[in-house]
Amino acid sequence: MKKWMCLVLMTFCFANVLAQSFNEPWNPNQLMTATVLANKITQNRMEHTVVINIGPDAVIKNSYNAGPANDAENITKLKKYLSETSKDKEVVIYCGCCPFDICPNIRPAFKVLQEMGFTNGKLLNIPKNIKTDWIDKGFPVNR
């Protein structure tokens, strides 16, 4: 009987961990590494990709600055920009103000991509911040 209870408890805990790890509006396939994006930029392979800053500063080379997505005015700006973008384009959003788990900008912006029907929306995987995960690596920046 104890083994059965232990198995039930372990199953419950495992299901709880899975639910927590998939609680984000994006899935792991919708994360793009900084290296992948940097290579696309440096190799001039951006014809099917749009990069949008949804944080405090448009650091990444040639990215559109929508501004922090925790502000309703900037969400409106983001929606206007996206309304002029083809739904099948790869749209990469990024913030980089802080780690993902506390970022106030990435979730509202990613939800906008989903609500507007973008089939290839991506979130740039910047786990710490834009300085550590982009600038310090020498990736292309706006001058």
0.85 cut: is pTM over it?
Answer: no
Residue 10 falls inside a structural domain:
no
The parent domain of residue 119 ranges over 25-137
Overall number of domains in the chain: 1
How many angstroms separate the Cα of 80 from the Cα of each of 28, 66, 69, 84, 133? Answer: 27, 10, 13, 7, 29
Assign residue 31 the CATH number of its domain: 3.40.250.10
Q: What is the pLDDT of residue 102?
A: 94
Residue 1 falls inside a structural domain:
no
State the number of CA atoms in the 13 A half-sphere of 24 facing the CB: 19
- Give the pLDDT confidence of 62-110 residue by residue, as tens digits: 999 999 999 999 999 999 999 999 999 999 999 999 998 899 999 999 9
